């Protein structure tokens, strides 16, 4: 009796193992494409109902999320078409390859189809616009661009090339800050920085050559400070020259001219912060030269000169004031 039970159990177990069972599993569908075609989206997840022997179903349960690879080539895109829609059903996927054999069959897939768009891809030359570099002034820096990558070979969907003429780039304030921190007390430095592509274009192409867009920039530590200092007219004649004319500052004058006794002028001075911090109004001498007014003119604007400017500082711009002959 005991031997019969053992045989019966063995027969039942063998039959049980060969009975078909079903199991639902999420499956990741991954689309891979060759160099001449692009696909979107590249990855989608479907729920598949598998059917097969118990041992195969048990192995399926123990697996991580199965992954099905579907390869696409230019042959999947109709001729003379830059983009198209494609729909794939379960019969288009090789589930056996992903599961390591044909023990399981696919009874159902949800959703029943996977939809993608195919795009024709090309490699072309593209121009690169000069990088935008706003932010230097906020950091007290003077920015100068020495050179930059002006063109590049890129890979992109054919339909996107029109929006990549040119490629827009920038140098961020954070990049300038990083260069400035490396300057320490040096008043000027040159650096190579990687250009950031405009967010609206960043995902539209892949750089083929060069692998990075760069610029060589020069930064100078510059601070600004306004000084209001007295200004005078110097008109001493040279020996043997005509006597100097008597001039005065015009009543209606430039915005930076401050009338009074003595008259003054507002000057914006830039330079290395340490040198600028040591500068005081008493150290600046502003003046105009009577000889700068043409002899055939009775009034006009003349340049402002500043004496005794220390090394490392300079006027932020050229200043002029109006003068006239004394009545």
CATH code for the domain of 185: 2.170.120
Question: Are both 108 and 181 inside the same structural domain?
Answer: no
What CATH number does residue 19 fall under?
2.170.120.30
Which pLDDT does position 1 carry in this prediction? Answer: 54
Alpha helices in the chain (DSSP H): 2-18, 54-62, 95-99, 173-181, 273-277
Which pLDDT does position 14 carry in this prediction? Answer: 52
DSSP state of 311: T
Question: Are both 213 and 227 inside the same structural domain?
Answer: no
Instruction: For residue 279, give both structure tokens.
Output: 């500068």
- Helices and strands (DSSP H and E) totals, the chain: 5, 23
Question: Are both 207 and 228 inside the same structural domain?
Answer: no
Instruction: For residue 32, give both structure tokens.
Output: 């891979």
Question: Are both 213 and 308 inside the same structural domain?
Answer: no
Q: How many residues in the chain?
A: 327
Tell me which of 164, 188, 221 is where a domain ends: 221
Q: Which residues pair with 230 in a beta bridge?
A: 264
Question: Are both 143 and 163 inside the same structural domain?
Answer: yes
**Could you tell me the CA-to-CA distances from 202 to 163, 166, 193, 213, 293 in Å, in that order?**
11, 12, 17, 12, 56
**Tally of CA atoms within 13 A in the half-sphere of 26 that contains its CB:** 6
DSSP strand pairing (223-234 vs 285-289): parallel
Which pLDDT does position 315 carry in this prediction? Answer: 85
Q: Which residues span the domain enclosing 177?
A: 128-221
- Specify the residue for token string 């001498």: 285
d(CA 76, CA 297): 81
Which pLDDT does position 137 carry in this prediction? Answer: 73
Which pLDDT does position 223 carry in this prediction? Answer: 73
Question: Are both 209 and 241 inside the same structural domain?
Answer: no
Q: How many independent structural domains does the chain possess?
A: 3
Closest by CA position to 100, among listed 62, 46, 71: 62
Peptide bond just before 156 cis, omega within 30 deg: no
Question: Are both 269 and 308 inside the same structural domain?
Answer: yes
Tell me which of 68, 100, 119 is where a domain ends: 119
Question: Are both 81 and 132 inside the same structural domain?
Answer: no
Question: Are both 246 and 230 inside the same structural domain?
Answer: yes
Question: Are both 228 and 216 inside the same structural domain?
Answer: no
**Residues 156, 206 contacting (CB under 8 angstroms):** yes
**Residues 241, 289 contacting (CB under 8 angstroms):** no
Tell me which of 192, 221, 250 is where a domain ends: 221
How is 211-238 classified by DSSP, letter by letter? SS-EEEEEEEE-EEEEEEEEEEEE-PPP
Instruction: For residue 253, give both structure tokens.
Output: 């004058």
d(CA 225, CA 131): 29
Local confidence pLDDT in tens for the 327 residues of the chain: 556 554 545 554 554 555 679 999 999 999 999 989 999 999 999 999 999 998 889 888 888 889 999 999 999 999 889 999 999 999 999 988 878 777 899 999 999 999 999 999 999 999 999 998 877 777 777 788 999 999 999 999 999 999 999 999 999 989 998 888 887 656 678 999 999 999 999 999 999 999 999 999 998 877 778 999 999 999 844 444 555 678 999 999 999 999 999 999 999 987 777 778 888 898 899 999 999 999 889 999 999 999 988 877 888 889 999 999 987
Question: Are both 25 and 89 inside the same structural domain?
Answer: yes
Question: Are both 12 and 110 inside the same structural domain?
Answer: yes
Its pTM stands at 0.58
């Amino acid at each position: 009796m005991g031997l019969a039970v053992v045989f019966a159990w063995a027969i039942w177990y063998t039959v049980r193992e060969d009975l078909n069972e079903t199991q639902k599993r999420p499956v990741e569908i991954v689309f891979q494409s060759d160099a001449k075609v692009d696909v979107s989206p590249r990855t989608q997840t479907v729920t598949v109902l598998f059917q097969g022997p118990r041992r195969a179903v048990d192995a399926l349960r123990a697996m991580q999320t199965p992954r099905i690879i579907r390869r696409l080539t230019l042959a999947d895109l109709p001729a003379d078409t830059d983009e198209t829609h494609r729909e794939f059903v379960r019969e288009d996927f090789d589930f056996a390859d992903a599961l390591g054999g044909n023990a399981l069959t696919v009874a159902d897939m949800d959703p029943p189809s996977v939809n993608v768009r195919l795009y024709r891809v090309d490699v072309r030359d593209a121009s690169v616009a000069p990088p935008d570099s706003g932010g230097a002034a906020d950091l007290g820096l003077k920015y100068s661009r020495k050179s930059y990558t002006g063109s590049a070979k890129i890979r992109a969907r054919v339909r996107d090339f029109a929006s990549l003429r040119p490629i827009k780039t920038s140098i961020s304030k954070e990049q300038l800050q990083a260069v400035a921190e490396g300057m320490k007390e040096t008043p000027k430095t040159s650096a190579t920085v990687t250009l950031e592509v405009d967010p609206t274009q960043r995902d539209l192409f892949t750089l083929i050559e060069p692998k990075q867009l760069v610029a060589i920039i020069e930064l100078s530590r510059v601070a600004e400070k306004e000084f209001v200092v007295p200004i005078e007219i110097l008109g001493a004649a040279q020996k043997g020259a005509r006597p100097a004319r008597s001039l005065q500052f015009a009543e209606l004058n430039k915005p930076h001219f401050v009338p009074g006794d003595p008259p003054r002028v507002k000057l914006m001075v830039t330079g290395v912060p340490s040198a600028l911090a040591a500068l005081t109004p008493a150290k600046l001498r502003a003046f105009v030269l009577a000889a700068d007014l043409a002899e055939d003119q009775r009034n006009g604007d003349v340049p402002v000169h500043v004496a005794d400017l220390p090394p490392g500082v300079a006027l932020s711009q050229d200043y002029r004031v109006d003068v006239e002959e004394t009545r």
